[in-house]
Amino acid sequence: MSETTADPAHEAIRREINDNDVVLFMKGTASMPQCGFSSRVAGVLNYMGVAYKDVNVLADEAVRNGIKSFSDWPTIPQLYVKGEFVGGCDIITEMTLSGELDALFAENGIAFDKDAAAKIREANA
């Protein structure tokens, strides 16, 4: 693909990431995840009260494949905060349990429930 030809899927992905502070590219939706990994990450964000945009990659094959090349990350879900790729399910789980996700949200001015985050860590200690 030449530099002058924009990939429509990448443009759509870039638009979502630029227009929303927190974006989760996932299988299914925040209210109805369609895989365990997407469910885990959406569950963490929902429990912590984070406002985020869910993008159902199952609804658009071009986005489903495009997000993998866009981030150079092979799996879904993928979390973006303030335009930056954070990671997939394993990374988000580790960051949640270590408190790094709290710090990332705080640094970027993303509202979240600190008590809920602490409860997740207590339950998994």
Examine residue 17 and state whether it is found in any structural domain, yes or no. yes
Q: Average of pLDDT values for 23-35?
A: 97
| CB-based contacts of 70, cutoff 8 Å, min separation 6 | 9, 10, 13, 14
Residues flagged as binding site for [2Fe-2S] cluster: 35
Examine residue 2 and state whether it is found in any structural domain, yes or no. no
Examine residue 84 and state whether it is found in any structural domain, yes or no. yes
Per-residue pLDDT of 70-117, as tens digits, reads 999 999 999 999 999 999 999 999 999 999 999 999 999 999 999 999
pLDDT at 3 over 60: no
Q: What is the CATH number of the domain that holds 115?
A: 3.40.30.10
Number of domains observed in the structure of the chain: 1
Examine residue 3 and state whether it is found in any structural domain, yes or no. no
Per-residue pLDDT of 36-60, as tens digits, reads 999 999 999 999 999 999 999 999 9
Examine residue 113 and state whether it is found in any structural domain, yes or no. yes
Model pTM above 0.95: no
Range of the domain at 103: 8-123
Beta strands (DSSP E) in the chain are 22-26, 53-56, 78-81, 84-87
- What is the structure's pLDDT at 118? 96
- What is the structure's pLDDT at 2? 42
pLDDT at 125 over 90: no
Residues flagged as binding site: 35
Examine residue 111 and state whether it is found in any structural domain, yes or no. yes
For residues 7 and 45, the answer to whether their CB atoms sit within 8 Å is: no
